[in-house]
Chain A
Amino acid sequence: MTKKTKWFIFFLGAVCLVFIPSVSVYAHKVNTYAYREGNKISGECYFVDGSPCKNSKVEVYDEKGKKIFETVTDEKGQYSFLTEQRGQLKLVIFAGEGHTAIYKLEAVTEKRKEGITKRENQLKQKTSTKEDEIKQIVDEVIDTKIQGLRGEIADLRKKLDRVYLRDIIGGIGYIVGVWGLIMLFLRKRHAS
């Protein structure tokens, strides 16, 4: 072995040593979800282990597949934007290395929306300013109460999407089992 090749192998070994400790058992799969609040759409994007996708590009497509908006996620993997679009929206998040998450945000049902605004108008005509105030207060209270629930639902979603050690060990068990069955089957084939 010449000195050069020795150095080369040493270099490769060093590269491996640098990389292997930083290898963490967490996967690349990206998940996202989003919800509407009036014209505002908020969402979050995270990896399987629950860590956020920071500074990932988010593209928003309308029903016809036309790109209508583009933004990036923040440090917490969250994003939000305003849109007048009522139809189904497709959110595509690019979290590097070709891994993308797609989320379809359902359309706001126009009829219901119209119904609500009609009723709101009727209410506005009938009610006094005092009742308006009460309505506003109730809205605010409900919003703050729901905030907590929303957080919990988001956490649950993340937990559901995570890969746990038990999944990995279970998976290996399945693989060994499946190959055991194949072996059994092939042995019969060879015997017959």
Chain B
Amino acid sequence: MHISEGVLSVPVLVSGAVLSVVGLTIGLHKIKNENIPKVAILSSAFFIASLIHIPLGPASAHLVLNGLVGILLGWAAFPSIFIALLLQTVLFQFGGFTTLGINTFSMAMPGVFSYYIFRGLLHRGKNIVFLGGFLGGALALVVAAAFISLALVITEKSFTAVAGTFFIMHLPVSIIEGIITGFVVVYLKKVKPEALG
């Protein structure tokens, strides 16, 4: 999910960075002080999720959890994901410094979409809550994969095949992410309903 250094063209990197700065500004303004521990925990969850490897037949993928972060945080997903990505870059060399902007945007923005589309479902019965989490988690990953594929194609037409494979490979992952997100929101609904606020 992390685009590395030196793959994308400069205009794509710059527009990614600009969009991320906008998202970060909105996010930081919307964070309420009492929500910061929640944001920090989701930052950590996102940070670790990328290390969890899912064997999927011949291919393999890792969790992203941008849907979970998004649906629980809304715009605050931007700073949350940005800090996790920054530390992944510094400590594990995942992604890169120049790609931080585009990576932040392509993972946080779909999370914000999920927040606006499915947040209403989180205040209903248990099954609907699960459905909301599932759809939110799955959609965020699919849209994120689409964003990254798009960034690849805009950079170079010859990346189309790679971008296509990238996108298709993330479809099964999105189902797993959806299931995980669904279970997490159902659990939160049970033990800490105010966290879904």
Residues in chain A within 8 A of chain B (CB atoms) = 1, 5, 9, 12, 15-16, 19, 22-29, 48, 94, 96-98, 100, 102, 161, 163, 167-168, 170-172, 174-176, 178-180, 182-183, 186-187, 190
Using an 8 Å CB-CB cutoff, how does the interface string of B1-44 with A read, 1 for contact, 0 for none? 10010100000000000000000000010010100110110011
- B83 is an interface residue with CB less than 8 A from chain A: yes
Query: A168–B48 contact, CB under 8 A?
Result: yes
Docked pose: A167 CA to B4 CA in angstroms: 20
Contact of A175 among B52, B83, B94, B183 (CB under 8 A): B83
- How many A-B contacts at CB < 8 Å in the complex? 108
Query: B36–A186 contact, CB under 8 A?
Result: yes
**Interface stretch of the complex, out of B56-64, B66-74, B99-107, B115-123:** B56-64
Query: A27–B92 contact, CB under 8 A?
Result: yes
A residues less than 8 Å from B91 (CB atoms): 163, 167, 170-171
Query: A175–B43 contact, CB under 8 A?
Result: yes
Docked pose: A171 CA to B87 CA in angstroms: 6
Query: B179–A16 contact, CB under 8 A?
Result: yes
Docked pose: A163 CA to B87 CA in angstroms: 13
Apart from the given pairs A179-B39, A182-B79, A186-B31, 5 other A-B contacts in the complex at a CB distance below 8 Å: A12-B179, A27-B94, A98-B166, A163-B91, A179-B43
Query: A100–B4 contact, CB under 8 A?
Result: yes
Using known A-B contacts A24-B53, A96-B59, determine if residue A187 contacts B33 with beta carbons closer than 8 Å: yes
Count of chain B residues with Cβ under 8 Å from any Cβ of A? 47
Grouping DSSP codes into helix (H, G, I), strand (E, B) and loop, the A interface class, with mixed when no group exceeds half, is helix
Query: A178–B166 contact, CB under 8 A?
Result: no
Query: A26–B36 contact, CB under 8 A?
Result: no
Contact of B40 among A102, A176, A187 (CB under 8 A): A176
Q: Shortest CB–CB separation between residue B49 and chain A, in angstroms?
A: 10
Query: B165–A9 contact, CB under 8 A?
Result: no
A residues less than 8 Å from B52 (CB atoms): 23-25
Query: A29–B47 contact, CB under 8 A?
Result: no
- Specify the chain B residue showing the minimal Cβ separation from A23: B52
A residues less than 8 Å from B170 (CB atoms): 97
Instruction: Give 16 pairs: A residue, B residue, CB < 8 Å, sorted on A.
Output: A5-B127, A9-B127, A12-B179, A16-B180, A23-B52, A26-B53, A27-B50, A27-B94, A28-B62, A29-B93, A94-B162, A97-B61, A97-B166, A98-B166, A175-B84, A186-B31
B residues less than 8 Å from A27 (CB atoms): 50-51, 53, 62, 92, 94
Docked pose: A149 CA to B104 CA in angstroms: 41
